[in-house]
Structure 1
Amino acid sequence: MTYRWWTQATVDALLAEDAPYGDLTTESLGLAGRDARLSMAVRGDTTLCGVELARELFLTAGARADLLAASGARVPQGDTFLLAEGAAGPIFRAWKVAQTLVEYLSGIATLTADIVAAAQAVSPEVAVVTTRKTLPGAKAQMIAAIRAGGAFPHRLGLSETLLLFPEHAAFLADPAEGIARLRRQAPEKKVVVEVKTLEEAEAVLPARPDVLQCEKMTPDDIRQVVALTAEHSPGTKVAAAGGVNLSNAAAYAAAGAHVLVTSAPYWAKPADVKVVIGPA
C-alpha cells in the first residue's frame, strides 16, 4: 500500500507546525551546517505506515533520504527502514515529526494487520473494515494506516454509504418502507441496516437488506443471525460490529460473519521507532 494520500501542503504544514521560526537549539549550537546522518529502525515487529511521507519531510527540509521498506511491509524487530543524510539543520528539523508520524500510523497498521490475520486464519474470505470513528481532521492519515494493515474503510463518511440505523427507523412507520425508499433514491448503493437483537434481525429480513450490521452481538448471536439469513434472505451479508477487536475477531469470523466492522485499530498503541543521529 503506497498510494499518495498527502499533498505538498501537508508536508509544509507539518514542518511549519514544529519549527515555525527555525530550530533554536540546533542553530544556537552552531550545528545546522554540520554533516549528519540519521537512521530509523523498529524496536518490535511492525507493519509500517507513513514512511513515504516521512521521507518527504526530510527531502522538503533539505536533506537526502532513502527508504529500505515501504508502507504495508511487515518488518522484524531491529530492522532499519529509513536513512537520511545531509546538513544537521534539515535532519533535526524533520526528525521528530517524521518519527512520531511513523509511530502513530504504524501502530494502527500493525494492529489492523494482526486483526486481519486472526480473522482470516479462521475464515479466509472474511472482510475486515473500519468505521468512520477516525480522529476529526486526521481521516486521510488513519485510513492510510488501516489500508497498510490490510483492511478497508467501512464508511468514509455520511455522503457515500447507506446505513439505516435504529435512530433513523424511530422516525419511520415501517423500516421496510425505509429500505424500499433508500433503494429508490440511490439504486446503485447497497442498503445496510443496523440491528441490535435477534428479534430485530428476524423482523427486517423480509425486506432483504443487502447487509445486516449486528451491533454488539455475541459470536453465538452472529451464528444465529447467519442461520436466519441463510433461511430467509440468502443474499444478505452479515456484519459483526461494535466491540470487534484482536481478542475476538477469530470468534466472530468462526461464527460465520461475512464482514467484521471495527474501530479498534484507531486506538492502537503507537509503534516504537528507534532513531540514531550522528555526524556523517
Structure 2
Amino acid sequence: MSPALAGPWAGGLEDERLRALLREDAPHGDLSTRSLGLAGRPAQIHFHARGPGVVAAIEAATRLLQLCGVAAQPAVASGARVDDGALLLAGQGPAEGVLLGWKVAQNLVEAASGMARGAAAIVDALRAEGSDIPLACTRKAPPGTHWWAAQAIEAGGAVMHRLGLSETLLVFPEHRALLPAGEVSARLQALRHQQPEKRLVVETGDEDEALALARLGVDVLQLERFTPEAVARLHQALRAEGLATRLAPAGGVNRGNALAYARAGADLLVSSAPYFAPPAEVQVHIGPADAA
C-alpha cells in the first residue's frame, strides 16, 4: 500500500496537534468501547471516497490512527483526484485504538477534502478557460484549523495568500485610520526601507484611492469588494500611466465570478470561499481484523 507517510507526520509539532484533537474528542478515553469489553480485540478500518473529489489531510488522518496504536497507511496522497468508492486509507490494530481515532480522522479528512474540492473547483474553472492566474486563499479559516486548512487549500491547487500576520506586509484601511492625518504616504514609503525583502500590499475599497496608492509605488493592491467592471477600469488606468502594480480582487471571489475577474485584468484572486465549501463524504468500514 502506498504512499507511505513522510515529512512532518514523522512526529513533533504535528503529532501534538493531532493528540490535541484526540484529547478534545475523548478527554478521558472511550467509555463505550471500554464498557463493552472490546479492549485488545483485533480490528481493521478502511476509508473509501463517497463520491468523486479531491483528497486532503489523508496523511494527518493516517498519523492520527497510528498515534492510537493502529498500523495504518494511506492509499493515496493529498491532492489526488479520486472516483467514487476509491480506497483512501486502511489499517488494523486493537479495537480501542481503531474506535478512538475513527471519527476524528474521518471528520478531518471530510472537512479538509471539502476545502480542497472547493479550491479545485475555482482553479479548474480558470484553467479550463486557459487562465493561469493564481488563486490565493486568505487566513479566514476557522481559528485552530489553519495548520490543516492550509494543506487542504494547496491540495486543491491553490496557494495561501498569507499564513499569518508575521509573514507579510498587508496594510488595511484599519491600519491607515490609526495613522496621523497626512502621514500615510510617508509611512508606506518607510515600510520599503524597514522591510526591503517584503512586497508592499495595501487593501482599498475605493477606485480613486487605489490609483493614488499605485502612484506611490505599492506592489500589490488588494481590491476589497471591487466588481469585475471596477477592476477592469483600474487595470486600464494603470496601463495608461505605465504603472506595474498588481491587482488582487478580494472579498466575494468565488467560482461563479472568478473568470470575470481574470478577464478584467486581475493578477491573482484572493478568496475565502473554499473554507466554507461543503465537506466531502468518506465511508468508513470497521470490522474484525480477520474479516477480509
The TM-score with structure 2 as length reference comes to 0.89
Corresponding position: 1:215 with 2:224: yes
**Conserved in 2, the CA contact under 8 Å of 1:205 and 1:233?**
no
Instruction: Name the structure 1 match of 2:274.
Output: 265
Instruction: Name the structure 1 match of 2:243.
Output: 234
Q: 3-state DSSP class of the match of 1:105?
A: helix
Task: Tell me which amino acid in the other structure corresponds to 2:8.
Answer: R
Q: Structure 1 stretch 236-245 or stretch 35-44: which is displaced more?
A: 35-44
Instruction: Name the structure 2 match of 1:128.
Output: 135
Counting only pairs closer than 5 Å after superposition, residues 149-164 of structure 1 correspond to structure 2 as 149-164=156-171
Task: Tell me which amino acid in the other structure corresponds to 2:17.
Answer: T
Instruction: Name the structure 2 match of 1:188.
Output: 197
Alignment partner of 1:4 out of 8, 29, 34: 8
Q: Deviations over 1:185-242 (max 9, x none)?
A: 2121111122212222222222121111111011111111111222224321111111
- C-alpha distance in structure 1 between counterparts of 2:127 and 2:236, whole Å: 21
Task: Tell me which amino acid in the other structure corresponds to 1:140.
Answer: W
**Conserved in 1, the CA contact under 8 Å of 2:215 and 2:243?**
no
Could you list the structure 1 runs, at least 4 aligned residues long, displaced by more than 4 angstroms after superposition: none
Counting only pairs closer than 5 Å after superposition, residues 29-178 of structure 1 correspond to structure 2 as 29-170=36-177, 171=179, 172-173=181-182, 175-178=184-187
**Conserved in 2, the CA contact under 8 Å of 1:42 and 1:79?**
yes
Task: Tell me which amino acid in the other structure corresponds to 1:90.
Answer: G
Q: Structure 1 stretch 177-186 or stretch 87-96: which is displaced more?
A: 177-186
Gaps of 5+ in 1: none
Instruction: Name the structure 2 match of 1:247.
Output: 256
Q: Deviations over 1:73-94 (max 9, x none)?
A: 1111211101111222211111
Displacement of 1:110 in angstroms is: 1.0
- C-alpha distance in structure 1 between counterparts of 2:198 and 2:132, whole Å: 22
Task: Tell me which amino acid in the other structure corresponds to 2:192.
Answer: R
**Conserved in 2, the CA contact under 8 Å of 1:123 and 1:253?**
no
- C-alpha distance in structure 1 between counterparts of 2:199 and 2:208, whole Å: 22
- C-alpha distance in structure 2 between counterparts of 1:10 and 1:179, whole Å: 38
Alignment partner of 1:277 out of 279, 283, 286: 286
The 1:169–1:29 alpha-carbon spacing in structure 2 relative to 1, beyond 3 Å, is: closer
Instruction: Name the structure 2 match of 1:225.
Output: 234
Q: 3-state DSSP class of the match of 1:4?
A: helix
The TM-score with structure 1 as length reference comes to 0.93
Q: Deviations over 1:235-257 (max 9, x none)?
A: 21111111101111121112121
- C-alpha distance in structure 2 between counterparts of 1:12 and 1:213, whole Å: 37
- C-alpha distance in structure 2 between counterparts of 1:268 and 1:3, whole Å: 27
- C-alpha distance in structure 1 between counterparts of 2:258 and 2:23, whole Å: 41
Task: Tell me which amino acid in the other structure corresponds to 2:109.
Answer: V
**Conserved in 1, the CA contact under 8 Å of 2:201 and 2:222?**
yes
Gaps of 5+ in 2: 1-5
Query: % of aligned pairs identical?
Result: 46
- C-alpha distance in structure 1 between counterparts of 2:16 and 2:223, whole Å: 40
